[in-house]
A and B are shown apart, each in its own frame.
Chain A
Amino acid sequence: MRRAVIAFTAFMGGLVFLLAAPAWADGEALKGTLQNQGQPVNGVKISVVAEDGKPVDDATSGADGKWEVPVPKAGKYKVTLDTSTLPAGVALKFKDRSTLDVQVYEGSVRNVLFALAPAGAKGGAAPAADDGGTSFWDRVAQLTFEGFNLGLIIALAAMGLSLVFGTTGLTNFAHGELLTFGAMCAYFFNVVVGVHLVWAALLSVVIGGIFGYGQDRFFWGRLRRRGSSLVAMMIISIGLALFLRYVFLFFFGGEGAPFADYNAQPGVQVGPISAAPKNFVAMGIELLVLVIVGVALLKTRIGKAARAVSDNPALAASSGINVDQVIRIIWTVGGAVASLAGVMLGLSQNVSYQMGFQILLLVFAGVTLGGLGTAFGALVGSIVVGLFIQLSTVVVPTELKTVGALLVLILVMLFRPQGILGRRERIG
């Protein structure tokens, strides 16, 4: 039951962003994807009736849970899910919502959501209406766990962003696209080529590193040498982000899709926390990578050099550090780690062309909270942001949990603009 709620909230969260994706079709249509706990539900009949009561068309969800009904023109339609065609064990989450009134706008394809849940699950508007047997503290423990999970993913992404900012001063709005790139690579190897996800993820990390290296070698490095100003580079990064995002949309399409492996793992119960085993493994990997990067920053020569450049590039250069080489290594590692973060994000949500951009603001929140330009600040800030987002759902609706995190970002700016571990002089 708990898992159903989690799956549903994750699905809703994903849907918010999916709905935000513009539809590129010519004619008006209604469509949707039926999912029960992340698994597609097929063979369900959906019928569409126009406002004046004239039937338009029927559709049956396919093996991927998708259905689509083209409609003649923009306007209001009634969409009905035939509950008798639902497979055994699956029911509507809200019993009274088998018929939905939806508005279709000119030239757009309208997504219609029927929330499904295992039969017998209690319908509830929010996770607050959970099954009665769990206590408040169990719920907090569960949300803390999920918060750590999200926070670690944000931290992986934030590490690269923060170090790039520290060494080059670039506020890289295209960093989210590094995550999407990683997830898309893994998706390509996993689903299209058919490699197991573990190997696909490894390949995508390697390719992400090469992508980061290439970006610095052939793009940002060149711009730095030309003496492009920081604000110009920031807007260039927006251009790059737009470009990459629509390249992803072009090849991947506007819909989200899961990886081929580890899709429907039954949850395991550890103390008060229940989660799929993949989440525990993912968190282990994320922690391991963060520790390795952290130790490398503290102990190795190149890590010390990176921190020196981050502190003061001119001073670092004059004491014999090859600044350009250090920056290139940071871009390479940053790209690889961001790729990993993308794969992990794709594992816990779905792979979609907007995933990177959507999490980018949370990464910014984490980085600024921890202090721009500090590697460990980014780590602390990100985990705080992740925890805050999940725990805030105790009081705010799940759909607005991101709003809370972004508000915190603004409040940090107001009261402690240098962040938790940052220093005053950085904010200028």
Chain B
Amino acid sequence: MNSLASFAETLAPDQGEGEDPGASRQFPLMPEGEAYDMGHAPDGTPLFDPRIFDSAEFFRNPYPYYRILRDHYPVYHDKLHNCYYVTRYDDITHCYFDDEGFNTIPKGSSSGVLGNTQLELSGVEHRRRRNLYGQHLVGKSLENRVPAIRRLAVEMIETWDGINDDQIIIDRDGSRTVELGRAFANEFPIRVVCEVLGFPKEAQADFYYWYNSMMSGLGASDTHKQGLEARQHLEDYVEGIVEARRKEPTYLYDEAGNPISKDIISKLCETKVDGDYLSTEEITSNIALVVGGGGETTRGAILNMWYLLLQHPDQFAAVCNDDNLWDSAFHETLRHSTPIGGQPRQNTFDVEMHGVHIPAGSLVNMVDFSANHDERIFRDPETFNMFREDLYNGKLLRSGYRKEGRCSHMAFGVGPHLCPGAWISHQEAVEGSRVLLSKLKNPRINVERMPKDIDGKKLRPIGLVSARELWIDYDLG
């Protein structure tokens, strides 16, 4: 047999490397913080298999993989998913501020569920639309709303006594076990959004349903159609409300029942752009974004914060002793386990970053998860430490990301698209937690009911998806 014939034989399927399972390749689950070995280049550089992005291992334990990307592929070309990943803090902040070079998220990337919102706009067009309602979520208008936030939290916790559902609350022997997600965090942010926007109280449960459907229907999910339907119903409903508010505005009230200011929809109804009132369509599509954006993120922040604090009793004790530390705990939570992992961008021009040529129009994913764990910025980034000295945790910076030698976390993004709900989300999480702490005596995680990690003992790491549920025991009486 000649040498060519022997090579040709190696192409038979029972020879060589065996069959490729495609994207469904099962990566083994590794101990938290350790990366699965995906091979090495001859010079020792670890290789990176893009199928890991679709794997369960990556969702549970992403940070060691992002570390490989930061160290060896600061710009990684994923040829399977046809995109690039930018993973270092300095590169990402640079790109976020370059509104011209890295232009908005791809059009239609919510596949219609959120719609044509300001997320997809840039420049002046973006700024104008963002400011329309962004102004109602900061400063004095925000302060006016804090009492309402507190009252909603108190109201929700007061209903616990009447709940008879062992998926939420179990009472025994002077202690109570509560699932903080279903009992509080899932719905609380949506109630706040409804209240702040000025929707009637009886519509809150519907909003919660629409919001859930929209969130689970984003992108290429199974429930996309349900998401589109919910978006349409939300819009139809909001449209009716908007028309009513145009005739008769409604108000927010303080604790004594005095009107503080008009609610956001009533204010938007009298807003003019270029001399014209906002159209109903403009108002409703932005409301869809507020409802979509204001829920999952804050929910995740509250659950992650309690999950992490209760796993670090010394830090939790510090918060119990000093009410002001909630702010630090909030920011460190968002650095350590952010609910929103990053923003996609498209580059306007051909660019070269770290020796990688990116043709114009490529999808470039800015990975906030990774920026928040960049050891070039944050020492010992995998450790939850609310006392760390390299994280900026003062009043949120509107136009920068570095102050007093400390860097902001990236959970709200930075630059022109900085989350307009950052301030109110902060208030919800912190005020909500203050109320919770005042009601929960000696809270601790009910380890038995929590999902476990691969060893069957340790608590499951948060990974890419915020804590889905959090079972807490506390003492009654």
A, B in one complex: no
Residues of A within 8 A of B (CB): none
